[in-house]
Amino acid sequence: MQPPHSITDLIRQRYSVRRYQNTPIEAATQAELQSRLEAIQKGPLGTPARLKLVAAAAGDSQSLRGLGTYGFIKNPTGFIVGAVRAKEHDGAKEHAGAKEHAGANEHALEDFGYAMEQAILEATALGLGTCWLGGSFSQSSFAKRMDKREDEIVPAVCSVGYAEAESRLRDPIRRRAHADQRLPWESLFFEGRFDQPLTRESAGVYAGALEMSRLAPSASNKQPWRVIRAGQRWHFYCQRTPGYGKGSMLFTLLRLADLQRMDIGIAMCHFEMTAREKGLKGAWVSDDPNLPAIDKNTVYIVSWQEKDA
């Protein structure tokens, strides 16, 4: 991605926009965004993904009718809709030479979170506001607009458009969720084990990448990612929120996707894109270090392996 601003600028600039101007996205901007979306063809762990802009044209206020506005989203003039391959296909393998696995793609939701957040940063670079909308969309009109394939799921969509003036200040949901507040470093990043917080000074050249992952958005601002440095590897874990997400009554009744796994993908996106912008080389690998976890709710996801320049 080659935005007019740095990745860190875009990450700091982006926020969840729930109030939009009732103005269609300009045709040239739509075309440019769709081109950028088409360039995102898979997540960092290898799961194929497709992204599409569904937007209203000038004078076509009815074209998005039926897609839903979720009540708290005002005047969205478009949606970024994404589908990810969730079922195994012939010849599919894990990323970076890791061993094959059977059944559903193991990292489909992390890959989706990464790809959709990359799309959101692309939209931000084009001057558009966005808002993640997690849910169960595989049988929805969004899925129909995507021509969803049998082996795909649509775990989330993103509203997009021109932000209404002062939309950030006038948003009561942001205030209730404390959306502008993030957990401190010592709660998220660790050195060698979970009882040893990592300092910014010790993080060295990766301090910026970690800070941008700390600022990543997440469902209900839960920030489930935890990162442990061990040598030249950064191990990413998901510390699930008890009573929220996978297995909870709410998520089961509403058939919601595992949003906290998507959150990990969002944090991975911020981490990697910032690292690469700073000239740091590395790759994602799946190699559980089997470190003692904080508790039963903490599970290993993936690791970033540093590479010498």
How many helices and strands in the chain, by DSSP H and E?
10, 10
The reported pLDDT for the residue numbered 108 is: 94
H/E/C letters for each residue in 156-203? EEEEEECECCCCCCCCHHHHHHCCCCCCCHHHHEEECCCCCECCHHHH
- Closest among 163, 170, 205, 207 to 189, alpha carbons compared: 207
Instruction: Report the CATH number of the 7-172 domain.
Output: 3.40.109.10
Q: Report the alpha-carbon distance of residue 236 to residue 275 in Å, rounded.
A: 15
Check: CB of residue 184 under 8 Å from CB of residue 192: no
Distance CA(77)–CA(100), nearest Å, equals 42
Question: Each residue's pLDDT tens digit in the chain (309 positions)?
Answer: 444 579 999 999 999 998 899 899 999 999 999 999 999 999 999 999 999 998 865 554 454 454 544 457 888 889 999 999 986 544 334 344 333 333 347 899 999 999 999 999 999 999 999 999 877 676 678 888 888 899 998 988 899 999 998 766 555 554 454 446 889 999 999 999 999 999 999 999 999 999 999 999 998 899 999 999 999 999 999 998 887 766 666 566 556 678 899 999 999 999 999 999 999 999 999 999 998 877 888 999 999 999 986
Query: Is there a contact between 272 and 304 (Cβ–Cβ < 8 Å)?
Result: yes
Say what the pTM is.
Answer: 0.86
Which residues sit opposite 73 in a β-bridge? none
- Predicted confidence at residue 8, as pLDDT, reads 96
Q: Which residues pair with 157 in a beta bridge?
A: 81, 133
Q: Are 260 and 222 in contact (CB under 8 A)?
A: yes
Interatomic CA distance for residues 79 and 4, integer angstroms: 23
Residue extents of the structural domains in the chain? 7-172, 182-307
pLDDT of residue 181: 81
For position 145, what pLDDT does the model report? 81
Tell the CATH topology of 182-307.
NADH Oxidase (3.40.109)
The maximal CA–CA distance of the chain, rounded, in angstroms, is 58
> Both tokens of residue 44?
């960092």
Comparing 7-172 with 182-307, is the CATH topology the same?
yes
